[in-house]
Structure 1
Amino acid sequence: MNTIAKHGYTLNELAERVGATVSGNGDALITGLATLHDAGPEDLAFLANPSYLRFLQDTHAGGVLIREEHKDACPVPALVLKDPYLGYAMLSQLFDPMAMKQAPTVHETAVIADTATIGERVSIGPHVHIGAHVTVEDDVVIDAGVAIGDGCIVGKGSHLYPNVTLYHGVTLGERCIIHSSAVLGGDGFGFAFNGKGWTKIAQIGGVRLGDDVEVGSCSSIDRGALGDTIIGNDVKIDSQVQIAHNVQIGDHSALAGCVGIAGSTKIGRGCLLGGGVGVAGHLEIADRVQITGMSLITNSIHSAGVYSSGTGAMPNAQWRKNAVRFKQLDEMARRLSRLEKR
């Protein structure tokens, strides 16, 4: 069993939460979540990818989230619904031990400016620093070592994990989750070369996050040089992501680990950027664009769809040959053009 709840739920109760139909004993008690392979009699498993259908016949789960077409092959009770993975996502929150919130407290080592406004039912951990004119709204959790700069706003129900840093002038919407060591509002990379050295450009904008945004650990969102860096509602940002100054990201977009977005680029709504994607500056990416992992985007994308660049892995000997051929492409193109003219 991978996850243990403080108390259980019957399959009937779980079905009501996700709009599923129960097949089999709806009174079966579920106390945790697990994979088809590892589940025990009190675990709920799910089958979302047909590649794992081979594990269904031998599962010992107390119940399985499953599609209608797989119901008859399930040897145990099932919750039948259109999207088992979405159902699993919804129910996972019931079995998350970290969701059991402690009574709101303010630790004695926290340093809170006199001009800060702290809402109701706020929990503030050890060695937290909250600057001047900060507003922390109701039901916020601020874990140990968090630093919140002057003039920030932390929206209702948000959670800042240990050692998060918000520079001055950062605004978080409601129910935002910021994971450990993320930095929001640091200076963007702005310098002017004077012929001998670099002159720093003051970054005088801020950072604004919408509601329900999640930022992974060790990610960085830079403040705007002029105006704000803007992250829309329900945007999901993985760990070790770099978002430069004045970037705008539309609602419901998701960025996987190690994505880097250069300054002043606009990402549309509902976009998906795979791990390691790099996006150059001052570009515009349309709504509903998916960019596969390790791609490099150097031009704007004006139409929805799936985009890729680069080459997949191959044996080194073959890659070395291809690299030589790549260098010859320009000359080969010129020779072909001459042949066509003849």
Structure 2
Amino acid sequence: MKDTRIPLSLSDIANRLGARLEGDGERRISGLATLKDAGPEDITFLANRAYLKDLPGTRAAAVLLRPEDRDACPVTALVLDNPYLGYAELSRMLDPLINAQPSGVHATAVVAEDAVLGQDVSIGAQAVIESGVVLGDGVTIGPGSIVGADSQIGENSLLHANATVYHGVVVGKRAILHSGCVIGGDGFGFAHDGAGWRKIAQLGGVVLGDDVEVGSCSSIDRGALGDTVIGNDVKIDSQVQIAHNVHIGDHSALAGCVGIAGSTQVGRHCMLGGGVGLSGHLTICDGVQVTGMSLVTNSILEPGVYSSGTGAMENSQWRRNAVRFKQLDSIAKRVSRLERISGEKGDSGAS
């Protein structure tokens, strides 16, 4: 891709970030790099004080940093309370993909006659837009992507190459769907007749809120009857599986390889670490954090940090511990019995 980034002045960056500029505001930068790798045309940031040692030797044009780190900075400083958030905003200013999306429909794209396209829509090569689809202003559909019948994509949303949106799906504004993700595939619904499985038609849809991001090769299944619902500003990493009729509250984040079984309700501002599994029909309240590789089989009704499983250890030690795990129930019963006997003896002595 041709780099279409326009160099930005440090004063312009400071104004847009709400940072205090200390140094040459007329200097222009065109890149963003780490403290170690930044050159004279780059800006960098210091968010983790573990990298404070790299600050005195930086060659960057400027550094985003906290007020307490200003004295150690040898170059122009943009001072703000949360430099990591500033870095996030600045990265979008300098992203050539965000800043250089051409509009128009590629000659090889297939667009249904009754599809409704907003202004400045971009549809890439061999993309398919089916009947009844509505694309909002500024939507970008990448090459090979498919938007199924009667689906809606909100304004300024982006589907990267080969993303699939099934029929009857609603995607909010400013969504980002990465390559290989599937929104609205059938939920895992089957009834057993004694000899085999009979498929249950999945009649619901999927609703994604505004500012949702879905990573590559993740799947969000459509509802069996009602919709699967993903709230506003939910961030979903790659290779995540969200089953039918799951609801996820606003501002929650799911790391890679999370799996959520059907009809589970996840609250607002929740964080699920990599590889977390949630059983079906659970309720996870607002403000819950589940650490990586944990399995949750019961509802969580109080906010906080939850974990399950054991950390890695030498196999010989793990085998010994596994034997002891199996003995925990009998040990607990023995302890309870000994406490009861001890209590009875104490009562007898007191009398």
TM-score bracket for the superposition, by shorter chain length: over 0.9
Contact 1:240-1:259 within 8 A present in 2 as well: yes
Partners of 2:228 and 2:290 lie apart in 1 by 21
Matches within 5 A, 1:237-316: 237-316=236-315
| Native 8 Å contact 1:5 1:94 kept in 2 | no
Match of 2:198, SS?
strand
Between 195-204 and 100-109, the greater mean CA deviation after superposition: 100-109
In structure 2, stretches of 5+ residues that fail to align are 342-351
CA distance in 1, matches of 2:310, 2:52: 31
Q: Percent identity?
A: 63
Distance in 2 (alpha carbons) for counterparts of 1:162 and 1:141: 10
Q: What is the alpha-carbon distance in structure 2 between the residues aligned to residue 295 and residue 23 of structure 1?
A: 46
SS across alignment from 2:6: strand
Residue 135 of structure 1 aligns with an amino acid whose one-letter code is V
Summarize the Cα distance change of 1:324–1:155 in structure 2 as closer, same or farther, 3 Å threshold.
same
- Which residue number in structure 1 is paired with residue 112 of structure 2? 113
For 2:241 and 2:148, locate their aligned partners in 1 and report how far apart those are by CA, in whole Å.
Answer: 20
Rounded Cα–Cα distance in structure 2 between residues aligned with 1:245 and 1:23: 52
How far the C-alpha of 1:322 sits from its partner, in A, is 1.6
- Return the alpha-carbon distance in structure 2 between the equivalents of residues 158 and 6 of structure 1: 21
Residue 138 of structure 1 aligns to a residue whose secondary structure is coil
Contact 2:4 2:100 (C-alpha < 8 Å) held by counterparts: no
Per the TM alignment, residue 180 of structure 1 is displaced from its structure 2 partner at its CA by 0.4
Which runs of at least 4 in structure 1 moved beyond 3 Å after TM superposition?
none
The count of residues paired between Structure 1 and Structure 2 equals 339
TM-score (normalizing by structure 1): 0.96
Q: Is the 8 A contact 2:259 2:277 kept in 1?
A: yes
**Equivalence for 2:320:** 321
CA–CA separation in structure 2 for the residues paired with 1:148 and 1:207: 13
1:144 to partner: Cα distance: 0.8
**Aligned counterparts, 1:110-149, within 5 A:** 110-149=109-148
- 5 Å-filtered alignment, 1:61-72, equals 61-72=60-71
CA deviation after TM superposition for structure 1 residue 304, in Å: 1.3
1:5 CA drift (Å):
6.6
Partners of 2:154 and 2:98 in 1: CA distance? 18
Deviation at 1:131, TM superposition (A): 1.2
* Higher Cα radius of gyration: 2
Cα distance per residue 1:193-248 (max 9 Å; x no partner): 11111111110000001111111110000000011000111111111010000000
TM-score (norm. length: structure 2): 0.94
The answer on whether the counterparts of 2:19 and 2:79 sit within 8 Å (CA) in structure 1 is yes
Question: Higher mean Cα deviation, 72-81 or 259-268?
Answer: 72-81
**Where does the alignment leave 5 or more consecutive residues of structure 1 unmatched?**
none
Is the 8 Å Cα contact of residues 182 and 215 (structure 1) preserved in structure 2?
A: yes
Specify the alignment match of 1:161 in structure 2: 160
